[in-house]
Structure 1
Amino acid sequence: MKNYQEEQEDDELFEHHRMVVDPKQQLLRIDKFLMDRLPNVTRNRVQKAIDDEFIKVNERPVKSNYKVRPGDVITIALPEPPRDTDIQPEDIPLDILFEDDDLLIVNKPAGMVVHPAYNNWTGTLVNALVHHFQNLPTMPENEGRPGLVHRIDKDTSGLLVVAKTELAMQGLAKQFFDHSIERTYYALAWGEPQAETGTINVNLGRSLKDRRVTAPFPEGDMGRRAVTHYKVLKNLRYVSLIQCNLETGRTHQIRAHMSYIGHPLFNDATYGGDKVLKGTRFSKYKSFVENCFKLLPRQALHAKSLGFKHPRSGDWLQFNTDLPEDFTTVLEKWEHYVQYN
């Protein structure tokens, strides 16, 4: 029931394991072979690594049903270098909106990475969580990410639910898997969508050209099912304030979907929103936009509300948070600009 995918920060791969198959080894599927030899790894995780071509035999990619043979050289290379995976507790303040014995709701600021990964081993939400809370549970496929059942991007602000008990972990994971959790985001996007409301139902997956980017696959032949429902809250001529509700939870889903329909998020460098896409080319307007970029130095995306059934009581819990200051400042500037220009 994995509901998030770790962002790749670099295209370089680092060798973690190299093994030579024993001369007496009988023919055996490579996924089963590796499960017996790698600690704390699941079959799904091995198969995903094979699909992503992180695992090679004799320097060539293989399929999960490949049967290892005596003398085969198997290498496992990953985007992050090998390191000690122990999480260091750090006394980082947390903005906790709600807490009980089973879970807590955190309002994450933009700029904070959710969990340790390549180039971001410290200063993450998880480093803070293990300092403030003891014995947080971990999902089977998410070693090193205690308490997490979902994630939001580093430069996206807003709400996250964290599990404090195994019961909460399992109950929340099932709700994410069933797509029954209510997740509302506010986004500032370039342009004005023709339809005031709509649904983007386009498969998303890792780009074939750049693993750090999520790409659309409209033919449905690749990627995974991804559904975003949107509603235009305010048209501001050159940009729009848009409410997005996630039915699924793919990596960069809103950012990739909005870019796909021609409305990248404001100042989203990864998906082309960090330049003037709508409006005039006059220097005054260009200076205005560049000033807004400086005030909001990230993609304009905020996880505004979160609703779910409490995993123990079954009661519906609903949480909401205000837009952060950088977002509201830029939104107000756009409202003023279109009113007087």
Structure 2
Amino acid sequence: MANNTVSTKHNLQVLYEDNHIIVINKRSGDIVQGDKTGDKPLSEVVKEYIKDKYNKPGNVYLGVVHRLDRPTTGIVLFAKTSKALPRLNKMFAGKEAKKTYWALVKNQPPKTADKLVHYLKRNPKQNKSYARSKEVPDSKKAILSYSLLKKLTSYYLLEIALETGRHHQIRSQLTAIGCPIKGDLKYGFDRSNPDGSISLHSRRLQLIHPVSKIELDIVAPVPEEKLWQVAEQG
């Protein structure tokens, strides 16, 4: 598994890089693409890093393959070439890339492992998705599997594998089983994390390289916050 993190002067944690792709360990608060806030997106920071590292003249090509919610941390993959981007998009659309997440929750889940199936209905005004047990108009089917990895003093570490990629899916589905993610006020946790993050981390990405066809297995170290460090040990 690749987890040789390289920190850069651009304050990036680069987990993997070659001619065609680059994988970043995103910090909480970073936005992957520009939005109405006008804050500088991670994609622009990565472009600057590439431009500086390789002394590239003109514009730098960078394709956004997938996103993470702003308060979450972990793996974000970008395409560095126009050859890699459509192949990666096809892989992600066909669920050929396996993404694994870690979440810290305060309440013990109903089962040590389970597959959750809900129908998510999005409320754009609230920027929130609601999980229903049965299909309702304009809802989308959402499927994930979770397992309990570890019990900490006051929290539980869950590992989550997504079968679908819906808006706020993990946050919404875990709340539906009584396990809101630590710090996630929007989805029912009782208090925020000091840094504004939620304790949801994109931990691992497994895929076949879009050009070289080698198997990639990339792991993102957890944030430096104490509880995360305890969760990662052993």
- TM-score normalised over the length of structure 1: 0.58
How much does 1:218 deviate?
2.4
Deviation per CA, 1:191-249: give whole Å up to 9, x if none: 111211111111223127x4411111321233222211100011247421101111122
Q: Which residue of 1 aligns with 2:6?
A: none
Q: Which residue, out of 146, 149, 158, partners 1:230?
A: 146
Deviation per CA, 1:269-318: give whole Å up to 9, x if none: 1101134xxxxxxxxxxxxxx8xx43x64211111111111111222111
Preserved contact between residue 226 and residue 248 of structure 1 (Cα < 8 Å): yes
Preserved contact between residue 113 and residue 125 of structure 1 (Cα < 8 Å): yes
Once residues 122 and 298 of structure 1 are traced to their aligned partners in structure 2, the CA distance between those partners, rounded to angstroms, is: 17
Pair 1:216-2:131 in alignment = yes
Deviation per CA, 1:30-67: give whole Å up to 9, x if none: xxxxxxxxxxxxxxxxxxxxxxxxxxxxxxxxxxxxxx
Pick closer, same or farther for the CA change 1:240–1:100 going to 2, 3 Å.
same
Q: Which residue, out of 267, 286, 308, partners 2:207?
A: 308
Q: Which residue of 2 aligns with 1:255?
A: 171
Q: Which residue of 1 aligns with 2:227?
A: 330
Q: What are the residue-to-residue correspondences of 1:262-281 with 2, within 5 Å?
A: 262-275=178-191
Deviation per CA, 1:67-87: give whole Å up to 9, x if none: xxxxxxxxxxxxxxxxxxxxx
Amino acid corresponding to residue 330 of structure 1 in structure 2 = L
Q: Which residue of 2 aligns with 1:118?
A: 36
Preserved contact between residue 192 and residue 238 of structure 1 (Cα < 8 Å): no
Pick closer, same or farther for the CA change 1:316–1:262 going to 2, 3 Å.
same
Preserved contact between residue 223 and residue 229 of structure 2 (Cα < 8 Å): no
**Which structure shows the higher helix fraction?**
1
Preserved contact between residue 113 and residue 124 of structure 1 (Cα < 8 Å): yes
Question: Which has the higher relative contact order, 1 or 2, with Cα contacts under 8 A spaced 6 or more apart?
Answer: 2
Q: What are the residue-to-residue correspondences of 1:133-148 with 2, within 5 Å?
A: 133=50, 134-136=59-61, 146-148=62-64
Q: Which residue, out of 111, 118, 123, partners 1:202?
A: 118
Q: Which residue of 1 aligns with 2:44?
A: 127
Q: Which residue of 1 aligns with 2:218?
A: 319
SS across alignment from 1:305: strand
Once residues 220 and 112 of structure 2 are traced to their aligned partners in structure 1, the CA distance between those partners, rounded to angstroms, is: 24
How much does 1:95 deviate?
1.5
Preserved contact between residue 222 and residue 229 of structure 2 (Cα < 8 Å): no
Preserved contact between residue 92 and residue 123 of structure 1 (Cα < 8 Å): no
Which runs of 5 or more structure 1 residues have no equivalent in the other structure?
1-90, 137-145, 276-289, 335-341
Pair 1:149-2:48 in alignment = no
- TM-score normalised over the length of structure 2: 0.83
Which runs of 5 or more structure 2 residues have no equivalent in the other structure?
1-8, 51-58
Q: Which residue of 2 aligns with 1:278?
A: none
Once residues 74 and 228 of structure 2 are traced to their aligned partners in structure 1, the CA distance between those partners, rounded to angstroms, is: 17
Once residues 332 and 96 of structure 1 are traced to their aligned partners in structure 2, the CA distance between those partners, rounded to angstroms, is: 19
Once residues 81 and 230 of structure 2 are traced to their aligned partners in structure 1, the CA distance between those partners, rounded to angstroms, is: 44
Once residues 150 and 333 of structure 1 are traced to their aligned partners in structure 2, the CA distance between those partners, rounded to angstroms, is: 29
How much does 1:265 deviate?
0.3
More deviation in 250-259 or 91-100? 91-100
**Which structure shows the higher strand fraction?**
2
Query: How many residues are aligned here?
Result: 214
Preserved contact between residue 112 and residue 155 of structure 1 (Cα < 8 Å): yes
Q: Which residue of 1 aligns with 2:16?
A: 98
Pick closer, same or farther for the CA change 1:156–1:219 going to 2, 3 Å.
same
RMSD of the alignment, in Å? Answer: 2.2
